[in-house]
Structure 1
């Protein structure tokens, strides 16, 4: 008997209903203290969204999405360059991997104030914060370097030998064989980097010198004990990350359809 496989939309719908049900139960079980409800009900959050209006959220999310997009581009570009350098100069493998690990393990709380001093925040209200862009880029380097290297090193050795026999250099191997073989892995890394860049941008905004963005809005909502707005921000952040993740995944299927793991007939 073959296992029952639900379509993607059905699985997503069941998961969403389950999350909302657990959320609603938690809002009933967690007691309010001094008029402050740490877990507001889904209806209270929807009411907060309606009362605040879409303009309030869009004006702040537009800034953070811009910061995440800029950091995403530069962080992934640097990561791909580092992965390419390893293949062209294998003796730098240890150095590049150490750099990638450092970007992943560096304590953001420790370097955040330094980044603010060196890079500053937004030049004016509504402009992207240089610090937020920096942390967005920093957040994607490790995953993209590791994923790209795994894909580039997984190229078929026989195909690489054919290039060598015909007088091809390492750069020719990279262009003709390794890039094609590594494309699914690189695209998967770029997909994972989307929510990482968005989270990095929000963390960068927490260090100040910016008047508009998801970070400042979260801080002000927490200070004023506006829990429905805080939860509304959490939901929109998750939605933005999911949409970005899905868009890059769609592009990956268009560029490298074999990366989905399905055969051409299915």
Structure 2
């Protein structure tokens, strides 16, 4: 008997429809509106659709997300840049591996909420209304370090030993081994780590904004909606966060497939 295999887009569509159905049933059965109020902790998909499109709040979504996306992008560049430099140092100076690994682990294990509170005091928030928060940039950067350091080091070490020996025999230095052999071998691992860091940086930026010292962005918008007990608005912003994070993740995945076609079994 031949097994029918759905294409990827169809499976994703069915999965999304199933999640929406479960969400709707959960909003009906698990939570009920309190008497005398219209508040419910879990709004139905129809309430979220109404908040976004019927009330027209989707039109102002970019104004809300622009500072957050900007902070996430800046933090992403700083965090991954530092991580790549640290991973490169390990290859050139192997004795630094323990120190670099410990630094990466510390950035991963630090309680981000506590660090965010200290960051608000030290680096502050947005200098001007509409500017990205310095705390959001800092947290977006720090949450990217661990995965990129580990992924880069593992990628650099996946280089073919025979190719490294050829470079060494012809008088090549450790730097030449890095640029001619290790970097090519490490590209898939590095790019995968950078792809994972996209939604991570976005989450760090949202948390940084949520801690305050900023007037525009996802964080203050969520605080305002929570204070108003606007559950449909909170869930709408939450879903839009997921959409923006997935779009960034997908774009980075597309870049991975273009830059490293051999990983997907395609020819360049």
Gaps in structure 2 of 5+ consecutive residues: none
Is structure 2 residue 81 aligned with structure 1 residue 77?
yes
Is structure 2 residue 231 aligned with structure 1 residue 227?
yes
Show structure 1 runs of 4+ deviating over 6 A: none
Corresponding residue of 1:48: 51
Gaps in structure 1 of 5+ consecutive residues: none
Q: Whole-Å Cα distance in 2 between the matches of residues 258 and 7 of structure 1?
A: 22
* 2:143 counterpart SS class: helix
Q: TM-score, normalised by structure 1?
A: 0.95
1:216 is matched with which residue: 217, 220, 242? 220
1:150-190 residue CA offsets vs partner (Å, 9 max, x unmatched)? 11111111111111111111111000100000001111111
Q: How do 1:24-35 residues align onto structure 2 when only pairs under 5 Å count?
A: 24-34=24-34, 35=37
Aligned residue pairs: how many? Answer: 264
Is structure 2 residue 126 aligned with structure 1 residue 122?
yes
1:54-111 residue CA offsets vs partner (Å, 9 max, x unmatched)? 3432111011001000001111111111100000000000000000001111112222
Q: Whole-Å Cα distance in 2 between the matches of residues 254 and 180 of structure 1?
A: 14
Per-residue deviation, 1:33: 4.3
Per-residue deviation, 1:2: 6.9
1:173 is matched with which residue: 170, 177, 201? 177
Q: Whole-Å Cα distance in 2 between the matches of residues 110 and 214 of structure 1?
A: 20
Q: CA RMSD in A?
A: 1.5
Kindly indicate whether the alpha-carbon contact (under 8 Å) linking 1:252 and 1:259 is maintained by their aligned counterparts in 2: no
